[in-house]
A = this chain, B = another copy of it.
Amino acid sequence: MNNKNKVSITELLRASKLSITDTRVKILELFMNSNGALEHSSFEKLAGQTFDRVTVYRTLQTFLDKGIIHSIPTTDTSIRYALCKSDCSEHDHHDHHVHFKCEECGATTCLEDTDVPEIHLPKGYAIHNVDVVVSGVCKQCR
């Protein structure tokens, strides 16, 4: 982690009107240093340091609320989280990209360049969000 990232993490927290704490900075560093999406247990295991379980839950919830991260649905037990692009905000998410879950290595990644296609539902439904999760085998595992 270089100094530039530290500065941007600070700015990110400040922009979301969140106080700057060790836990929040370290969790954001973990997100920035990892390619894929992280699941909850990662935060307790990683970083040589133990975060308290409760603090991690609360921090992730706060980041979700503020639009700093987004959650990725899964059919296993663990929800995954990934950083939002910088143009997301509290009430205006637009992470309209596809997520990919590799069945070999287990990694979940955001395919930023692959847009979610438009979905047309029968009349009467109000659409707030569309999640697309593709599973298969990623480049590295083939």
Contacts and interface: CB of A to CB of B under 8 A. Distances in A.
Interface in A57-93: 71-77, 79
Interface size class of A (residues with CB under 8 A): 35 or more
Contacts of A119: 98, 114, 117, 132, 134
How many copies of this protein are present in the complex? 2
The majority secondary structure among interface residues of chain A is: strand
B142 A121 contact: no
Interface in A89-121: 98, 100, 103, 111, 113-114, 117-121
B132 A131 contact: yes
10 contacts: A73-B73, A73-B131, A75-B79, A76-B79, A100-B125, A111-B121, A117-B117, A126-B142, A131-B134, A132-B132
Interface of A: 71-77, 79, 98, 100, 103, 111, 113-114, 117-122, 124-139, 142
